[in-house]
Amino acid sequence: MSSALAVIGAGAWGTALAIQAARAGAGPVVLVARDPAKAAAIAASRENPRLAGARLPDAVRVTTDPEGAAMLVLAVPTQQLRAAAAALPAAGLLICCAKGVEAGTGRLPLEILAETHRATPSVVLTGPNFAHEIAAGLPAAAVVAGPEPRAREAAIAALATPTFRLYGNEDALGAQLGGAAKNVIAIAAGAVMGAGLGENARAALITRGLAELARLAVALGGRAETVTGLSGLGDLLLTCTGPASRNYSLGFALGQGRALAEVLAGRSAVTEGVATAPALLARAGTVDLPICRAVAAWLEGRITLAGAIAELLARRMRDE
């Protein structure tokens, strides 16, 4: 049986988006899980353990097959996006929800899709959204970014509701860079709080992180105004202050002295900022990104947290 929309990836975010698509009246919605046993369990209970308490509406079917959906929503991590996209059937529109930079290639999500599905219109859905709040129907806003107005409009029509306000933006590059860089900066923000360095330090770090994001976006061809929007400042604020953020909570644990391998071993969900940090720096080239560089060096064990903080504070004084 064909469907109007299929969500690829039955994690917390994919499940929330399937619920949201049904709420928006997108037509028959399919939630696609890679593991048949997982698909069967979710279908039977009408609830995903990764998003406890959020019941799937009757309009959502759970399966392992996109079933010829006209619109595909890709809710998989950036490092898994290429493989997932290569296995997709033909569709009229791809809506990508990944945030990050692909390790090894330096590609952003829509650039990956341009290589795997060159003839298919694609957009990125990004912004300050926690899955459990979207599933609950709490007020939120996000950005649908892509170069083609009709593709943006179609995605917005499929997912927007009065409680989930979607804005279009043609600056897909700037929007994607915001989604990638904020994860790295959020690890630093979590470390600041985990190490007990205080709210002043976190506020300063978020502000200077936004300056890094602005430099990066403009240097690579994005727009400065995108950085001040939902996909930049909005996402940065949520990820750097919300305990539900995987990147913030990882940084918090590391700031308390726990080992990276230990923290990652206890997680079932991907923490995008870990792989994105070095990939983002490779993509950035000579752009000045001191916080992101410090995070990458710290995660790779080339510097201690104390050393990273000391280096950042010792930078030459200058005008803001």
Residue count (the chain): 320
Maximum distance among all alpha carbons in the chain?
63
Beta bridge partners of 31: 7, 62
* Annotated catalytic residue 182: yes
Please pick, among 82, 132, 152, 182, the residue that the annotation labels catalytic: 182
Answer yes or no: are the C-beta atoms of 254 and 167 closer than 8 Å.
no
CA separation for the pair 90, 94 (Å, rounded): 10
Q: For residues 191-210, b (16+ Cβ closer than 10 Å) or e, as one string?
A: bbbbbebeeebbeebbebbb
Helix residue spans in the chain (DSSP H): 12-23, 36-45, 78-86, 109-116, 131-135, 149-159, 172-194, 199-219, 224-227, 235-241, 246-255, 260-265, 272-284, 290-299, 305-313
What interhelical angle do 246-255 and 172-194 show, nearest 10? 30
Q: Which residues belong to the active site?
A: 182
